[in-house]
Amino acid sequence: MPRTRRPALPPVDRGLPDYVTRRTSGFYRELNPATKLALAALEVVVVFAVPGWLGPLVVLAIVAGVAAATRTGRELAVIGLAASPLVISIMVVNLFVLPGAADPIFHAGPIAPTWSGLWFGLLTSTRLLTFSSAVALAYLTTPVDDLLADMSRRGLGRRGVFVVGASVQMVPRTIERVGEIMDAQRARGMDTEGRIWRRARAVVPLAAPVVFGALTEVEERTMALEARAFTAPGRQTLLRAPADRASERALRWLALIALVAVLVARVSGRLG
Amino acid sequence: MSLDLAAVRYRYAGSMSVALGPLDLSLEPGQVVGVAGANESGKTTLCLAASGMAPAVVGGHLDGAVEIDGVAASTLRPHELAQRCGLLFQRAATQLTHTTATVFEEVGFGPCNLSLARDDVVARVWWALAALGIEDLAPRDPTRLSGGQGQLVALAAVLALRPKYLILDEPTSELDPAGTGLVADGLVRAARETGAGILLVEHKTDVLARIADRMIVLDRGGVALAGPAAAVLGDDRLVELGVEPPARVRLARDLRAAGLDLTPDLAGALE
């Protein structure tokens, strides 16, 4: 086989391509990830710290407006649906066994749902859905690599950045793996569809390969990272970093001040 | 200048038995050494020992010497080893970081770890992609590639660190014929374009026949056969050692077994 001498690195005749330096565009999406996280944190605090319906409803209105502007309504609805088992259990528990509730809606033998339980269940469920929507909105409008690049630029070490990135990506990766294993189990005759108890029965033989498979991957992934100089000293070079304008920095400070103010007001009893 | 293993014996942590060795091996830049052998014959262990990962990263105990261009591998830290001796594993999925949006950034992950200037990183990425002929994959999502493409991207990611030696541990083992062909083409190209010395562990002897200059066959951790690739791949003992000869060698044998006389030209072409 003919061999050439080890070639020198050619001069850069092609720079960093546009698809690497890409910028997100549009309202809210183009905000720096840290700004979106700061706003989400403020929204979460308002949802839980402001008593009654005011906090959750104001935040819900904001989230709905941003979701419409960023066209993420469908994804948020899916996330809301995923939370439905939790919402149902909150409603059932509060409706029937809220401590101290004495205003029954009706009596059916020993069962007596209460108005207080209904309202408290609705309020708690709204808080839960609003909180999860606010966080999910930040996630849905932020490319993961933008978040990681921004964290890296702010001085978080490469291990920390990688752990965050791997954790975020673990969800889709695990879903993908579950799909592969389910296909394999089905090919061997296991019934993973149909009634709920059949699906439940299929979880055990599914869980073991998912967990053990992920564990056995760890060693190879560790070596692969070492083989790519992951533990080299010094700061990682950034190929790009999301923009961070002065106005956004001011917005983050405002969000932080508002967050602290709401908490102080809550703790001091000024919010009731 | 070479990657040298001298009287190497390796034991995994917690194991009393020797997984590899005693073994001597030398790999020079620009040379491709193929490694074959049955399962459990020590091929992956050889890769780990030759790349310095064993014992530095995986633990265990190594006797003998592994030297990269005269420097003992045991004195080098993992990121220093990575720049001298690239290591590629069987599965592309476990080698990708899953934290990058494009193949370009995935290949640039290693050079970025070295804190190189951005222009240098960019130059290395383009060079690595060009060396394998996969520049058109640069904008793609690395998690949405075929098996063969994913393995080539993983190889490009290793190449971008500009190692003088490449250790490839069964890079086509999980690939279909199309994926195997894609990776084999990439390896031929990498050998020609990069000038790196390549230690290629491979079950598929057709790939070895295409690319390897020399070969060794491992059996229970030791070298059972060694020599020029054509001679080793035509050796009758290959089957006994759990290695299937390349298709053309099997064809020549079947033709002879059927009583056909092969012309010298045909025999030469097949074997």
Say if the Cβ atoms of B121 and A14 lie within 8 Å.
no
Say if the Cβ atoms of A4 and B193 lie within 8 Å.
yes
The reply to whether A256 falls in a domain is yes
Higher per-residue confidence, A267 vs B99:
A267
> In chain B, which residues have their Cβ closer than 8 Å to the Cβ of A223?
48, 53, 57-58, 87, 89
Residues A38, A108, single domain; the answer is yes
Residues A135, A181, single domain; the answer is no
> In chain B, which residues have their Cβ closer than 8 Å to the Cβ of A237?
111-112, 114-118, 121
**Residue B183's pLDDT is what?**
86
A10: closest CA of chain B, how far (Å): 7
Contacts 24+ apart (CB under 8 A), A173-182: A173/B98, A174/A210, A174/A214, A177/A210, A177/A213, A177/A214, A178/A206, A178/A210, A181/A206, A181/A209, A181/A210, A181/A213, A182/A206
Residues A118, A33, single domain; the answer is yes
**Residue B182's pLDDT is what?**
85
Residues A37, A166, single domain; the answer is no
Say if the Cβ atoms of B112 and A7 lie within 8 Å.
no
Q: How far apart are CA B209 and CA A175, in angstroms?
A: 40
Alpha carbons within 13 angstroms on the beta-carbon side of residue B10 total: 31
Looking at the partner chain, which of B112, B161, B195 has a beta carbon nearest the beta carbon of A239? Answer: B112
**Residue A144's pLDDT is what?**
83
Say if the Cβ atoms of A236 and B158 lie within 8 Å.
no
Say if the Cβ atoms of B89 and A223 lie within 8 Å.
yes
Residues A81, A211, single domain; the answer is no
Angle at which helices A115-140 and A33-49 pack, to 10 degrees? 170
Give the tokens for residue A110. Answer: 């020993």
Nearest CA in chain B to A8: B194
The reply to whether A11 falls in a domain is no
pTM comes to 0.80
Say if the Cβ atoms of A6 and B194 lie within 8 Å.
yes
Residues A40, A135, single domain; the answer is yes
The reply to whether A1 falls in a domain is no
**Residue A97's pLDDT is what?**
87
Say if the Cβ atoms of A217 and B127 lie within 8 Å.
no
**Residue B9's pLDDT is what?**
96
Phi, psi of A238 (to 5 degrees): -100, 125
Looking at the partner chain, which of B30, B110, B126 has a beta carbon nearest the beta carbon of A228? Answer: B110
Higher per-residue confidence, A201 vs B91:
B91
The answer to whether the beta carbons of residues B84 and B165 sit under 8 Å apart is yes
Annotate chain B with DSSP letters as a single string.
--EEEEEEEEE-TT--S-SEEEEEEEE-TT-EEEEEE-TTSSHHHHHHHHTTHHHHTT--EEEEEEEETTEEGGGS-HHHHHHHEEEE-S-HHHHS-S--SSHHHHHHHHHHHTT--HHHHHHHHHHHHHHHT-GGGTTS-GGGS-HHHHHHHHHHHHHTT--SEEEEE-TTTT--HHHHHHHHHHHHHHHHHH--EEEEE-S-HHHHHHH-SEEEEEETTEEEEEEEHHHHHT-GGGTTTT-PPPHHHHHHHHHHHTTPPPPHHHHHHH-
**Residue A12's pLDDT is what?**
52
The reply to whether A188 falls in a domain is yes
Which residues contact residue A77 at a Cβ distance below 8 angstroms, ignoring those fewer than 6 apart?
A: none
The reply to whether A213 falls in a domain is yes
Residues A69, A108, single domain; the answer is yes
**Which of A204-213, B185-194, B259-268 has the least mean pLDDT?**
A204-213
Higher per-residue confidence, A197 vs B164:
B164
CA B196, distance to chain mean position in Å, is 11
Say if the Cβ atoms of A230 and B158 lie within 8 Å.
no
Residues A251, A200, single domain; the answer is no
Which residues contact residue A12 at a Cβ distance below 8 angstroms, ignoring those fewer than 6 apart?
A: B119, B122, B123, B126
**Overall residue count recorded for chain B in this entry:** 271
pLDDT band at A125 (very low <50, low <70, confident <90, very high): very high
* pLDDT (tens digit per residue) in A25-82: 777 888 999 999 999 999 999 999 999 999 999 999 999 999 999 999 999 998 888 8
Tell me which residue range forms the domain holding A122. Answer: 28-142+245-272
Nearest CA in chain A to B191: A3
Say if the Cβ atoms of A1 and B211 lie within 8 Å.
yes
Mean pLDDT of A217-243: 87
In percent, how much of chain A has pLDDT > 70?
90
* pLDDT (tens digit per residue) in A2-24: 454 555 555 556 788 988 887 77
Residues A131, A253, single domain; the answer is yes
The reply to whether A111 falls in a domain is yes
**Which of B61-65, B129-133, B237-241 has the least mean pLDDT?**
B129-133
B258: closest CA of chain A, how far (Å): 33
Q: Which residues pair with B59 in a beta bridge?
A: none
* pLDDT (tens digit per residue) in B47-60: 999 999 999 888 99
> In chain A, which residues have their Cβ closer than 8 Å to the Cβ of B192?
1-4
Give the tokens for residue A75. Answer: 């994804």
Q: How far apart are CA A223 and CA A236, in angstroms?
A: 19
When divided into structural domains, chain B yields a total of 1
The reply to whether A172 falls in a domain is yes
Mean pLDDT of B4-9: 96
Residues A185, A71, single domain; the answer is no
CA B62, distance to chain mean position in Å, is 21
Q: How far apart are CA B91 and CA B22, in angstroms?
A: 28
**Residue A64's pLDDT is what?**
94
> In chain A, which residues have their Cβ closer than 8 Å to the Cβ of B115?
232-237
| CATH code at position B233 | 3.40.50.300
pLDDT band at A175 (very low <50, low <70, confident <90, very high): confident
Say if the Cβ atoms of A173 and B98 lie within 8 Å.
yes
**Residue B198's pLDDT is what?**
94
Nearest CA in chain B to A19: B139
Looking at the partner chain, which of A14, A148, A229 has a beta carbon nearest the beta carbon of B99? Answer: A148
When divided into structural domains, chain A yields a total of 2
Say if the Cβ atoms of B213 and A225 lie within 8 Å.
no
- ipTM score of the complex? 0.86
Mutation target to probe the B interface, by most B beta carbons within 10 A, among A147, A158, A228 is A228
Looking at the partner chain, which of A5, A16, A234 has a beta carbon nearest the beta carbon of B122? Answer: A16
Tell me which residue range forms the domain holding B200. Answer: 3-270
Mean pLDDT of A118-134: 94
Q: How many CB atoms lie within 10 A of CB B78?
A: 20
Residues A58, A119, single domain; the answer is yes
The reply to whether A14 falls in a domain is no
Give the tokens for residue A92. Answer: 């059932």
Residues A38, A136, single domain; the answer is yes
Please give the order of strands across the beta sheet that includes B71-72.
B20-27, B3-11, B61-68, B71-72
